[in-house]
Amino acid sequence: MKTPKRLQSLLDEGLIDGVQRQLMSGKEAQVFVVRCGEETRCAKVYKEATQRSFRQAVDYTENRKVKNSREARAMAKGTRFGREKQEEAWQNAEVDALYRLAAAGVRVPKPYLFFEGVLLMELVCDAHGDAAPRLNDSVFTPEQALDHHARLIREVVRMLCAGVVHGDLSEFNILLAEDGPVIIDLPQAVDAAGNNHAQRMLLRDVENLRNFFGQTAPALLQTDFGAEIWALYERGALQPDTPLSGRFQRKHKTVDLRGVLREIDDARDEDAARRLHMSQAR
Ligand SMILES: Nc1ncnc2c1ncn2[C@@H]1O[C@H](COP(=O)(O)OP(=O)(O)O)[C@@H](O)[C@H]1O
Ligand SMILES: [Mg+2]
């Protein structure tokens, strides 16, 4: 295909040798299949900030590292320099997360380089060598649903052990590769320790997995892995291989129903006695 404008400089620099086709255009980026010598790779071209949707919200960018206070001030003011810096921070966050997670053994696309707003990474493939489908577009048996779910819960744990919460994990951001599920799309990933919303995001990520796979394997709908994982993490007791039950005992006392009924009866008796006493007194 004709080289898209944003990929021309990578071609000029010899970083890629040709553009084969465009993959699905997502909410925040356009994704292309490109040739690099003998290999086929994936180029993710970020859309301009103004064309993007919801995810650059305050929640996600909270506590994101910026180089210095002048950049932080510019970002807060929303000057052009500030917007550019914010843009950079957003795109870099995905590259950082990919390197960090790959190093922690999480199955994510292998990143190759980041150049002028384009991320060059491994093309995740299915058994035929074609770009892998999203989970959302895949069909599987209940057994496979249980297996994928278990593997993804392990990946979530491994990510959290590496200090990262995905923040937008769902069947739309997981590809089904020949070797199993692969997590993609991480520019909104948050720092588990430094972001006040990390817990909520982790719970939502895990809930999305449960609800999606629960459609095929309903037994999963009874599980509560998110709360269990977060509780272990907070106690500093989470390891990549910590056994999980999928159950979580919330800390509220069970209601003493008999006691409550006794209180009600007592109150009723007391009230009756008072009425009797008053009518006698009149
Ligand atoms: N490394 C990859 N290998 C294969 N397909 C990919 C890869 N990265 C992205 N895609 C495809 O491009 C789509 C959009 O990419 P994604 O990173 O989710 O960006 P967006 O923020 O636009 O949702 C994905 O749903 C997937 O189909
Ligand atoms: Mg996506």
Closest residue CA from atom 22 of ligand 1: 26
Tell the burial category of 7 from Cβ atoms under 10 Å away from its Cβ (0-12, 13-18, 19+). buried
151-157 average pLDDT score: 98
- Which ligand has the minimum distance to the alpha carbon of residue 31? 1
- Using most ligand atoms within 8 A of CB, pick from 23, 41, 91 the residue to mutate for ligand 1: 23
Average pLDDT (162-184) is 96
Task: Provide the CA 115 distance to its chain's centre, in angstroms.
Answer: 24
Q: What's the pLDDT band for 58 if we cut at 50, 70, 90?
A: low
Quote the mean pLDDT of the chain. 89
CATH H superfamily, domain 5-234: Transferase(Phosphotransferase) domain 1 (1.10.510.10)
Q: From the CA of 29, how far away is ligand 1's center (Å)?
A: 8
Q: Angle, to 10 degrees, between the axis of helix 225-234 and the axis of helix 142-161? A: 20
For the Cβ of 174 lying below 6 angstroms from any atom of ligand 1, the answer is no
Q: Which of 114-118, 211-215, 232-236, 257-261 has the lowest mean pLDDT?
A: 257-261
CA of 134 relative to ligand 2 center, distance in Å: 10
pLDDT in tens, 79-93: 777 777 777 777 788
Q: Is 252 helix (H, G, I), strand (E, B) or coil?
A: coil
Handedness of CA 138, 141, 142, 145 (dihedral sign): negative
DSSP 8-state code for residue 131? B
97: three-class secondary structure by DSSP: helix
Is the confidence at residue 22, as pLDDT, over 60? yes
Q: Is the CB of 24 under 6 A from ligand 1?
A: yes
Please compute Rg for the chain using Cα positions: 26
State which residues have CB under 5 angstroms from ligand 2, the bound ion: 26, 173, 185
In this predicted structure, the answer to whether residue 252 has a pLDDT above a threshold of 80 is: no
The yes-or-no answer on residue 185 being catalytic is: yes
Single out the residue of 179, 204, 161 nearest to residue 60, CA to CA: 204
Residue 67 CB contacts under 8 Å (≥ 6 apart), including other chains: none
Give the list of residues 6+ apart from residue 188 with CB closer than 8 angstroms, or none. Answer: 55, 56, 60, 93, 166, 167, 168
In the set 96, 168, 224, 241, the catalytic residue is 168
How confident is the model over 39-50, as a mean pLDDT?
87
**pLDDT value, residue 61:** 65
pLDDT surpassing 70 at residue 166: yes
Q: Rounded to an integer, what distance in angstroms lies between the CA atom of residue 246 and that of residue 223?
A: 5
Q: Domains of the chain: which residue ranges?
A: 5-234, 254-282
Report the pLDDT value the prediction gives residue 21, as an integer from 0 to 100. 96
| CA distance linking residue 86 with residue 188, whole number of Å | 12
Residue 88: its pLDDT value, please? Answer: 77
- Any atom of ligand 1 within 6 Å of the Cβ of 109: yes
Q: What is the mean pLDDT of residues 127-141?
A: 95
168 has catalytic annotation: yes
- Give residue 12's identity as a one-letter amino acid code: D
- Is the C-beta atom of 184 inside 6 A of ligand 1? yes
State in Å: Cα 131 to ligand 1 middle: 10
Comparing 65 with 104, the larger pLDDT belongs to 104
Q: Considering 96, 185, 224, 256, which one is annotated as catalytic?
A: 185
Low-confidence winner among 44-53, 154-163, 216-225, 255-264 (lowest mean pLDDT): 44-53
Cβ atoms of 151 and 177 within 8 Å: the answer is no
Tell me if 246 sits within 8 A of 225, measured CB to CB: yes
Q: Which atom of ligand 1 is nearest to the CA of 131?
A: 4
